[in-house]
Structure 1
Amino acid sequence: MKVILINRKHGGSRSIELGRWSRALLSLCCLGLPLGMVGVGYMLGQDSEANTMREVALDRLQDELEQQEKDLVALQAQAERKMAAMTRNVSEMQARMTRLDALGQHLTAMADLEEGEFDFSQPPAVGGPLGGEFSVEYNTSDLMAELGLFQARVEDREQQLEILETLLSNRKLDEQSWLSGRPIEKGWISSYYGKRNDPFTGKPSFHHGVDFAGKEGSNVIAVASGVVTWTGSKSGYGETIEISHGDGFVTRYAHNKESLVSPGDVVRKGQAIGLMGSTGRSTGAHVHYEVYKHGRSVDPSSYIRRTRR
């Protein structure tokens, strides 16, 4: 193979005869240079792609870290809200326990229980041997479960106490409506129920009540709770008060100086309803007391001698 070299300046030329090894070396240089450049470019491209992938991975990791940080903040806020809710629940249950203690004291007083048998002003007495070195740590779920059980116990105790209060209230209501005792605070019986001589005519007559003599202006009291059905002047009775007690019972209080109640008033046992006087057909200050059962006059003496149920 010949290679001709031309000199433009002098216009001459020169030929070089290439052997087999020279031709191989020249071919290798002519072909190797482009291939080398292609290889270098490929390697540079691989490095650039790797760098890009590393940057993407780093960005993704940074995003994950930021998201985890946000999740952690959210979990912390949620935990704080749960703790605040648990604190409120504990406060509410403490308030309910305070109410239950007050209710227990009220029921104890209503039931006339012996002193010390029930004492709601003190925490319940507890005890037991030392449990050793064993200790228990509560997590949130355990604490929530304990609070749930505590709340259930409170609700059960509250329900039972309310039932007890209802029963005691009904019993007290029965006692209040139970006709018993005298219709005065001070005084004496001056005339009994039944046949007697009329104080004005001296003739035999039937007396439908019991008379209680006393000081004019002293209190006339209700012998049981009930509703006032009549106040006003009646012929022969003077200023009169009538009270309905339910179950067909009605009591009448006559010859009053003044009535202290009005029709429709609800009165309690022992409440002052009038002032003793001598109005109507009367010889002096006294209370004419009558008891009616289902519209029929009955002897008040058995009710006067009654005691509490």
Structure 2
Amino acid sequence: MATLCISAVIWVSLNIQPNEVDSQVVAQWRAKLDSQREAMQIIEQKSLAQSAAVGRQLAQMQARLLRMEAIGAHMAEAAELQDGEFDFSALPAQGGPVEGGQTALQFDDLAVELDRLSSAIKRREFELDVLDDVLVNEEIQTTSVVRGRPVKWGWLSSQFGQRVDPITGKTAWHSGVDFAGKDGSDVIAVASGVVTFAGKRSGYGKLVEISHANGYVTRYAHHKELTVETGEVVKKGEAIGKMGSSGRSTGPHVHFEVLKNGRTVDPASYVTRRS
């Protein structure tokens, strides 16, 4: 009773009613709660933004790692490494004793480590790309060497050099070798290169001309049908046309020429050349 009386005296002396004190206190607390809610929303939005940024960074890193695994597996295969020597599909083996105490990784520290790892992955990805290009170039150099037969099935029907012309019956120079075979069978490139001509040429009929490394050019004539175009890159063993008898020809065959620095040479040594 004494306490209530004292409180009443204070309210009267300050001209404040008890219900006014309650409303002011409630208003202050509401204001504080609203301020805290806004602060929580800001923190939550910042946290979501940071999480999204980390998520995007992790997704990019994962994509780069997958690509690096594919390049690494290709390089391991190209280098003919033993199975299991470099397994890019497995996690790297790690371990060791724990020394000293351990602390949880803070978010700021995590962001720093992710940036550092992302930069390292970019550098390694670039290095792998360079190494892969080197291996590919070496492979191209190997497959661009002129050797082999321009047909999968067929037989040598005419040699290089002086011969009796099959149409006129007179002695004439033959600038290539002929391989007879089945009409419509595949004619293949004997080396990787770029098609510098694909079309009709007098005497040759439907002709394909391919430029290779080290000044070599090969020609394949009398096609029934061409399956490549000028400017196209072809690989060794790839079909470039169908055997036929177009142009100056007596039957289905491919006239095969080899040129070295613009001059025709005997294809026989290239046909029989070993890897």
Match of 2:218 in 1: 251
Partner of 1:217, secondary structure, is coil
Distance 1:85 1:241, change over 3 A: closer
Aligned equivalent of 1:220, options 149, 169, 187 = 187
- Aligned pairs for 1:43-62 (under 5 A) are none
1:177 and 1:226 in contact (8 A); partners too? no
How far apart are the structure 2 equivalents of 1:301 and 1:104? 40
Aligned equivalent of 2:134, options 167, 172, 178 = 167
Match of 2:59 in 1: 91
How far apart are the structure 2 equivalents of 1:88 and 1:238? 59
1:229 and 1:244 in contact (8 A); partners too? no
Q: Which moved more, 1:92-101 or 1:154-163?
A: 92-101
How far apart are the structure 2 equivalents of 1:100 and 1:169? 16
Q: In the TM superposition, what is the alpha-carbon distance from 1:89 to its structure 2 partner?
A: 2.0
Match of 1:33 in 2: none
How far apart are the structure 2 equivalents of 1:274 and 1:84? 54
How far apart are the structure 2 equivalents of 1:241 and 1:78? 64
Distance 1:258 1:97, change over 3 A: closer
Q: Kindly tell me the number of residue pairs found equivalent between the two proteins.
A: 260
Q: Which moved more, 1:163-172 or 1:240-249?
A: 240-249
Q: In the TM superposition, what is the alpha-carbon distance from 1:289 to its structure 2 partner?
A: 0.5
Q: In the TM superposition, what is the alpha-carbon distance from 1:283 to its structure 2 partner?
A: 4.5
Cα RMSD after superposing both structures: 3.7
Q: In the TM superposition, what is the alpha-carbon distance from 1:183 to its structure 2 partner?
A: 0.7
Match of 1:6 in 2: none
**Equivalent residue letter for 2:154:** G
Match of 2:4 in 1: none
- Aligned pairs for 1:104-143 (under 5 A) are 104-124=72-92, 126-131=93-98, 134-143=101-110
Q: In the TM superposition, what is the alpha-carbon distance from 1:108 to its structure 2 partner?
A: 3.5
How far apart are the structure 2 equivalents of 1:116 and 1:240? 48
Match of 1:102 in 2: 70
Q: Aligned pair 1:155/2:122, yes or no?
A: yes
Q: In the TM superposition, what is the alpha-carbon distance from 1:199 to its structure 2 partner?
A: 4.5
Q: Which of 1 and 2 has higher RCO (CA within 8 Å, sep 6+)?
A: 2
Q: Percent identity?
A: 44
Q: Which moved more, 1:209-218 or 1:62-71?
A: 62-71
Question: After superposition, what is the alpha-carbon deviation per residue over 1:238-267, rounded to whole angstroms, capped at 9, x for unaligned?
Answer: 443333346543322123333333444443
Q: Which moved more, 1:69-78 or 1:164-173?
A: 69-78
Q: In the TM superposition, what is the alpha-carbon distance from 1:273 to its structure 2 partner?
A: 1.9
Q: Aligned pair 1:277/2:211, yes or no?
A: no
**Equivalent residue letter for 2:98:** G
**TM-score after normalising by structure 1:** 0.67
Distance 1:64 1:294, change over 3 A: same
How far apart are the structure 1 equivalents of 2:58 and 2:225? 57
Unmatched runs of 5 consecutive residues or more in structure 2 = 1-9, 15-20
Structure number, greater radius of gyration: 1
How far apart are the structure 1 equivalents of 2:198 and 2:148? 21
Q: In the TM superposition, what is the alpha-carbon distance from 1:144 to its structure 2 partner?
A: 1.7
1:255 and 1:276 in contact (8 A); partners too? yes
1:184 and 1:220 in contact (8 A); partners too? yes
